[in-house]
Structure 1
């Protein structure tokens, strides 16, 4: 599937980016949003962004984004599962 939309040149000038850089950023930010919302796994988010998993993680580190951001309820589930291990 190919998705396209128009962006005024003055937007790119304001961002100091060319079309290729802008496109890569839009893909990354979209993937990051879906990953944060737990709609995409890390691997699928990386795929959407056009990265492999390690490169996506590295980009997240560069952007100071949490790679794993578990809420208290999720951490409770994880710790409960760990407690069940022999």
Structure 2
């Protein structure tokens, strides 16, 4: 599916259309992921990159990819060592 977005001509003059298209896809994927509306994998797919590159994008935008607290992670790690 394609969606058309009207942008001011002076904005488009600063960047190539493919670059703008990619930035919009990444921004929308990041927003959907932040809202919890898509998984990390689906967000990466929408952004047009692999999951590791999208995780890097999340890091750059200060968006956590692990939503567990420090204590939850430590508790889980302790469960592994006791098994």
Q: Given the two structures, how large is their TM-score scaled by the length of structure 2?
A: 0.71
- Give the alignment's Cα RMSD to 1 decimal: 2.7
What is the match of residue 18 of structure 1?
16
User: In structure 1, what is the Cα distance between the partners aligned to 2:36 and 2:28?
Assistant: 13
Give unmatched runs, 5+ long, in structure 1.
Answer: none
Give unmatched runs, 5+ long, in structure 2.
Answer: none
The structure with higher relative contact order (CA 8 Å, sep 6+) is: 2
User: In structure 2, what is the Cα distance between the partners aligned to 1:68 and 1:46?
Assistant: 12
How far the C-alpha of 1:23 sits from its partner, in A, is 0.8
Could you list the per-position Cα deviations for residues 51-84 of structure 1 after superposition, in whole angstroms to 9, with x for gaps in the alignment? 11012122333x34223263xxx649x82x839x
User: In structure 1, what is the Cα distance between the partners aligned to 2:69 and 2:56?
Assistant: 24
Aligned counterparts, 1:18-57, within 5 A: 18-57=16-55
Q: Given the two structures, how large is their TM-score scaled by the length of structure 1?
A: 0.69
Contact 2:26 2:47 in 1 (8 A): yes
